[in-house]
A and B are shown apart, each in its own frame.
Chain A
């Protein structure tokens, strides 16, 4: 160590120059670091979606989800959970992998299986699609499109063929889904009554529609094998042949002759241009439009991606005149950018205030300048290392940085003060021995700092062993914290001494200490002597009082939440209508709500969507919607949010929730369920499942500690069930399948072919007229062609009635599921779960049915956390013992440390009692500061004893304590000012996490100062009864200089 510091001192000029150069380079690198509010969290997940427009939830489950789950996906490597949701028109299968699975290998494993999937229902369902890997906060931007000149269909064509491909090419963009997309289609609308009158069958119309075009997906028409145009070879030239499709509009198609008749399509049907049945729609003020939801890859840079999308849209504007782009529907980049700007400003102000305090209050100009240089250096180096380690720049990393900077300030202040103190004793020495003094001073503090660092690491290390969501949020904090501490300790060896020496020639050390310092020392000495002479019981009583106050205060704090609520400028309002509510009605009421929200002062923009879109992150039905409300940064945030909440609460009949996007994502990220305890019943038949679930519910209400058990019945909605009566069908000579195909064609439509325009492909459909499919009567009256000629009403061959069917069918582990949820109160969750498991053994299940108790969302049970805390405490104690070389000293120090933290607890309580991840960092910092001060103080005492300068006694303690009072005050005032600057200046990035942490540190500083200045010296004096022995074996080599380290 000595030769290392010596070397850096000798090469001080190059060191400083290189450091400056590296910082410059590092700063540029740091600016490119990906920024997001939260770190990536959540287990590796792969989602596979299969679209099947028009299929009911039951059909989707039976025909698409189950075959895929059972045959293909169950058994993929590293798979932990397989869950699926089958809703009308969509099968969504989620594969959740073991924690730590590499996402790209998981995708590879899944892709191999998916590529073997055969399309279950050709012409009906699209091939299964594996969704792009998405960030845990996947939505990066929402853009609204509207136009006064283009129709919605024209806008959809533009969006699908021009805008979306361009946006997908922006780096960082994983997916763009379009809400409200109306695909351009040619539709041949048939009225079965009219067909009957003209003597044409439905099949004739379908075949005509298909064969009129170049190619058809229907396998039973001639157009299914289109052939190629070919070419001819003259003796001299090869001439290619190209067929131009004459059909470009509905009128053209209407002129086509119907097979086996003299009539045209226009005679027997109506040919129109229309769009597909909608699964969702956009909600924009002022009329119809489209909504583009842009999602990003994991660890993509939100700011860069947003900027890239802006540039892409600007490039598109000339070619899309008539279309208005609204890029501020949802735009987190704006508040992140302003948060970062505020953070920079706050940081600069904090730095300025720290330097000013050091210079003005304590006359420590050199220290001030060094602080100005080394603190930014620590930050930039730490952030650079974090980016190399692959972390993103998020609020949790920022909190860790800020907390560790408090310790960095302690480093700087401690080192330079020690140097100044020694120099004051011999100011007229030559420069060479000044360098030696700097060397010795730095060396002295080293071991204390190293041990302090190790102790803090022991306190922080358990977080790397946490499970679940907590285990994904704490490590970035710990890593940022530890990296900053290591960087600051390294810079204290490399840069601070070099700068000290260089500055000494510019600012020669003064003879006198600042007036404030002298005054402090004088009066402190008096008070300390009084304190030291207090009898032991009083001392212990004082300590006990502190600890008691803390012990009372701790239970008054709120239950710890993982992350605080973020004050984001975008609010997400989720609206759910009753199951079965129609799309037009949801669109109407969402528009009404949006219009009213726009009138609230402080709301700058409202946009949203209802239902879902192809390949989007929403799997709910048309009865759900989302509204995104943007709040003007200059408006009063709290009152605007309250007004929004009041408005939304005023709409009856709609389940609603007003949250911020980050909060919603964190809530979703908790695997498992939200109830205290959930028993998941697995099986196939919903009736049997329901019976078993109710039986288990009865059983649960008999268990002690279980509160309010209920069965989570799935939502049902009225569904038309058509069941062919086989006898009637036989009478009329019709097959059941034929009934279904005819009904499907008339009610939903069948794709008969495509036509091409430039580079675009559009579908051609045969479908029933709107009147035939408008209501239940229409369905009952549908005329089905008989093979023998003539027609029969659907109602005559089938039973058409309305029955309840689940809105969405959820499966878990290849089985249907039903949850029984309950609360837990009065006993520990573990004990209740044990009883439940015991009771479940006595429940009889039919074949292929069983039930399990789900893991809780909080996967870190309290007893596990207590074990971690115990291990950390033991490690810290042993390290203290190694440092001091004395069990007694270590014991005394260790058990009086909580007294130092009491101020933090009181501060947290006064400020509202929230405990979040920032609070943890605050407490660790406070403890770290207390540990450092203890190590330095006691180490110095031991060094003086070892060198023989002082005998153990009150005199020794007072002398060392007086040396320490000024640096302790300097450090406390510097840290306090710095934190106040960060708290007050604007709304910096990470404010919600840093504020509780800063409060705890500020409060803790007060009690830590009291602890370091009064309690610790007194206790050391009283209880360290093996002074000589301890001093000899102590590892703290804080010597006076001549004694070799």
Chain B
């Protein structure tokens, strides 16, 4: 089926030009619309966290915190000391004592504390508790006297070491 141009036989050049301009305008309009769409659309939120190391790293059974993380947790430390402890029988003797706030219980009953061998580095150390009197836990076994232990923030260190999932 042949078709003829309906508009008659006037000279084609201005027509052609007009047609081209119209086509160009259409394309330009379309492009503009799409550009507007891209500009207006909400930029995707930066959900991805940076690939920097987290606040705590666990290696070789040690938990290593960044300076910032330690401040955030409010880590405080005390020490294992030798103190006078009065036995039920009345006599007092020199026993190894650790602040009660440093004590953590493992699921199987074994108690432990977090020692602080190097700055910002923490390691678990098992202890055996004989009794607890007030703020002090009397140990029958544990790290040497003078060892620094974490008294505030050990729960979070525990959580960092054993990354549990929700």
Within 8 A of B (CB), among A277-313: none
Interface residues on B, range: 35 or more
CB-CB nearest in chain B for A957: B3
Within 8 A of A (CB), among B116-166: 129, 131-134, 137, 152, 155-162, 164-166
Residues of A within 8 A of B134 (CB): 771, 774
Say which one of A488-496, A651-659, A862-870 lies at the interface with B: A651-659
Are B7 and A650 in contact, with the CB atoms below 8 A?
no
Shortest Cβ gap from B156 to chain A (Å): 3
| Docked CA distance A567–B43 (Å) | 12
Interface string of A827-859 (1 = CB under 8 A from B): 000000000000000000000000000000000
| Docked CA distance A775–B43 (Å) | 54
| Docked CA distance A578–B107 (Å) | 12
Shortest Cβ gap from A349 to chain B (Å): 15
Tell whether A589 pairs with B156 under 8 Å between CB atoms, given A527-B19, A954-B4.
Answer: yes
Are A1002 and B22 in contact, with the CB atoms below 8 A?
no
| Docked CA distance A487–B106 (Å) | 68
Are B6 and A1003 in contact, with the CB atoms below 8 A?
no
Are B19 and A802 in contact, with the CB atoms below 8 A?
no
Are A577 and B159 in contact, with the CB atoms below 8 A?
yes
Are B158 and A523 in contact, with the CB atoms below 8 A?
no
Are A1002 and B37 in contact, with the CB atoms below 8 A?
yes
Interface string of B51-88 (1 = CB under 8 A from A): 00011100000010100110011100000000000000
Residues of B within 8 A of A958 (CB): 6
Shortest Cβ gap from A971 to chain B (Å): 14
Are B7 and A529 in contact, with the CB atoms below 8 A?
yes
CB-CB nearest in chain B for A655: B166
A525 CB contact (under 8 Å) in B7, B47, B56, B137: B7
Tell me if A804 counts as interface (CB < 8 A to partner B): yes
Are B3 and A802 in contact, with the CB atoms below 8 A?
no
Tell me if A440 counts as interface (CB < 8 A to partner B): no
Tell me if A676 counts as interface (CB < 8 A to partner B): no
Residues of A within 8 A of B152 (CB): 588
Tell me if B44 counts as interface (CB < 8 A to partner A): yes
Are A650 and B69 in contact, with the CB atoms below 8 A?
yes
Residues of B within 8 A of A717 (CB): 107
Tell me if B89 counts as interface (CB < 8 A to partner A): no
Are B37 and A907 in contact, with the CB atoms below 8 A?
yes
Interface string of A362-389 (1 = CB under 8 A from B): 0000000000000000000000000000
B155 CB contact (under 8 Å) in A578, A593, A657, A983: A578
Shortest Cβ gap from A569 to chain B (Å): 14
Interface residues on A, range: 35 or more
Are A777 and B33 in contact, with the CB atoms below 8 A?
no
| Docked CA distance A1006–B162 (Å) | 56
| Docked CA distance A715–B26 (Å) | 63
| Docked CA distance A804–B63 (Å) | 24
Tell me if A581 counts as interface (CB < 8 A to partner B): yes
Residues of A within 8 A of B157 (CB): 652-653
Residues of A within 8 A of B6 (CB): 525, 529, 954-955, 958
Residues of A within 8 A of B100 (CB): 775
Shortest Cβ gap from B166 to chain A (Å): 5
Tell me if A325 counts as interface (CB < 8 A to partner B): no
B22 CB contact (under 8 Å) in A523, A567, A776, A955: A523
Are A581 and B159 in contact, with the CB atoms below 8 A?
yes
Shortest Cβ gap from A892 to chain B (Å): 16
Secondary structure type dominating chain A contacts:
helix
Are B69 and A652 in contact, with the CB atoms below 8 A?
yes
Tell whether A1005 pairs with B33 under 8 Å between CB atoms, given A585-B155, A803-B108, A983-B40.
Answer: yes
Tell me if A960 counts as interface (CB < 8 A to partner B): no
Shortest Cβ gap from B50 to chain A (Å): 8
Say which one of A394-402, A639-647, A754-762, A1031-1039 lies at the interface with B: A639-647
Are B19 and A650 in contact, with the CB atoms below 8 A?
no
A578 CB contact (under 8 Å) in B40, B42, B158: B158
Shortest Cβ gap from A1024 to chain B (Å): 12
Interface string of B20-36 (1 = CB under 8 A from A): 01110010011001101
Tell me if B45 counts as interface (CB < 8 A to partner A): yes
Tell me if A700 counts as interface (CB < 8 A to partner B): no
Residues of B within 8 A of A802 (CB): 105-109
Residues of A within 8 A of B23 (CB): 527
Tell whether A596 pairs with B41 under 8 Å between CB atoms, given A527-B19, A582-B155, A642-B46.
Answer: no
Tell me if A592 counts as interface (CB < 8 A to partner B): yes
Are B72 and A651 in contact, with the CB atoms below 8 A?
yes
Are B106 and A718 in contact, with the CB atoms below 8 A?
yes
A524 CB contact (under 8 Å) in B22, B41, B165: B22
| Docked CA distance A717–B107 (Å) | 6
Are A801 and B109 in contact, with the CB atoms below 8 A?
yes
Within 8 A of B (CB), among A709-747: 715-718
Shortest Cβ gap from B65 to chain A (Å): 6
Are B105 and A650 in contact, with the CB atoms below 8 A?
no
Residues of B within 8 A of A527 (CB): 19, 22-23
Residues of A within 8 A of B44 (CB): 912
| Docked CA distance A653–B56 (Å) | 8
Tell whether A718 pairs with B105 under 8 Å between CB atoms, given A578-B159, A652-B69, A777-B131.
Answer: yes
Are A653 and B156 in contact, with the CB atoms below 8 A?
yes
Within 8 A of B (CB), among A544-580: 565, 567, 576-580
B3 CB contact (under 8 Å) in A529, A716, A778, A801: A529
Residues of B within 8 A of A390 (CB): none
Residues of A within 8 A of B54 (CB): 649, 652
Within 8 A of B (CB), among A885-903: 903
| Docked CA distance A804–B19 (Å) | 82
| Docked CA distance A651–B55 (Å) | 7
Are B165 and A655 in contact, with the CB atoms below 8 A?
yes
| Docked CA distance A49–B105 (Å) | 30
| Docked CA distance A641–B43 (Å) | 14
Tell me if A510 counts as interface (CB < 8 A to partner B): no
11 interchain pairs (CB within 8 A)?
A523-B21, A579-B164, A585-B155, A592-B74, A653-B159, A654-B156, A776-B132, A777-B132, A801-B109, A912-B44, A1003-B34
Further 6 A-B residue pairs, CB within 8 A, beyond A578-B164, A655-B159, A716-B107: A578-B155, A589-B74, A593-B72, A651-B72, A653-B56, A718-B107
Closest 10 A/B residue pairs (Cβ): A653-B156, A653-B159, A802-B109, A652-B56, A804-B107, A911-B41, A653-B160, A954-B3, A578-B159, A775-B132
